[in-house]
Amino acid sequence: MSDGPEEVGSVRPCSLALVMPVYNEEECIAEVVESWTSMLDAEKIDYTMIVLNDGSKDRTGEALAAFESNPRVCVINKENGGHGPTILMGYNLAVSIAEWVFQCDSDDEMKPDSFPAMWGMREPYAALFGYRAGRQQPLARKIISATSRKAVGLLFAPGVTDVNTPYRLMRTSYLSDVLARIPPDTFAPNILISGYFAKLEAPIANVPVPHLGRRTGTVSIMKFKLWKVAFLALRQTLGARKWLMRN
């Protein structure tokens, strides 16, 4: 029997599991991973970073290979399954190894600088949502964001400022329960998870996090697909309340 902590595959148990989905980010992904690991190391946080390469067609996989020797970084190269299913895959692995789960995107639009303050204030809360302060959006995305927030408020409960934020810290004891209720092919699971936390009336916090414009990479959802996927997310949200909140 090993004297050390039991590992789940190649992923080590820890206090914090950071989940980062990646798709076609060869230009910035090495810099982004390095910035997060440097910050977490400096803060002396016991963490594992789960980076999920969702079938990138560029050289993202090659860039991530540079972190193979870092025991705190677990890179998973998988077939393309979409942003939502990839996040769920990361969450399900994360809750099996950590007390807290944090999700952030790989596009460098929300920096790690805001994380230490969020981590420091976590203890009274079930979840902390970093809302995108200063975000510049075209009109279509503004409408979709507002509609998603309104739908979550009506179907579940108000309380989460940015229901689909990719910068969220969640306690495993709450997150693991909701994950068991979400189908693995859900397009926008973060919206449902926000609704779940709000409806539970669990203690949550909304924390402003500066949002920067995209500097590199490509937007995975182009304009002509935007409304289609928005309606898909809304339909899934509308149909989710009953089974998501069952006892």
What domain range is 184 assigned to? Answer: 14-244
State the pLDDT confidence band at 222, using cuts at 50, 70 and 90. very low
**pLDDT for position 19:** 98
Q: What is the pTM of this model?
A: 0.86
Q: Which of 19, 139, 125 is nearest to 74 (CA)?
A: 19
CATH number at residue 146: 3.90.550.10
Residue 200 placed within a domain: yes
Is residue 190 a contact partner of residue 129, using CB atoms and an 8 Å limit? Answer: no
Residue 187 placed within a domain: yes
**Helix or strand run (H / E) with residue 17:** strand 14-22
Residue 20 placed within a domain: yes
State how far the Cα of 64 lies from the Cα of 60, in Å rounded to an integer: 6
pLDDT in tens, 93-118: 999 999 999 999 999 999 999 999 99
pLDDT in tens, 30-45: 999 999 999 999 999 9
State the pLDDT confidence band at 164, using cuts at 50, 70 and 90. very high
Residue 180 placed within a domain: yes
**pLDDT for position 150:** 78
What total of structural domains would you count in the chain? 1
Q: What is the DSSP letter of 92?
A: H
Residue 75, classified by CB atoms within 10 Å of its CB into exposed (0-12), middle (13-18) or buried (19+), is: buried
Residue 8 placed within a domain: no
Q: Kindly report the backbone phi and psi dihedral angles of residue 208, in degrees, each rounded to the nearest multiple of 5, phi listed first.
A: -70, 130
Mean pLDDT calculated for residue range 44-60: 97
pLDDT exceeds 90 at position 179: yes
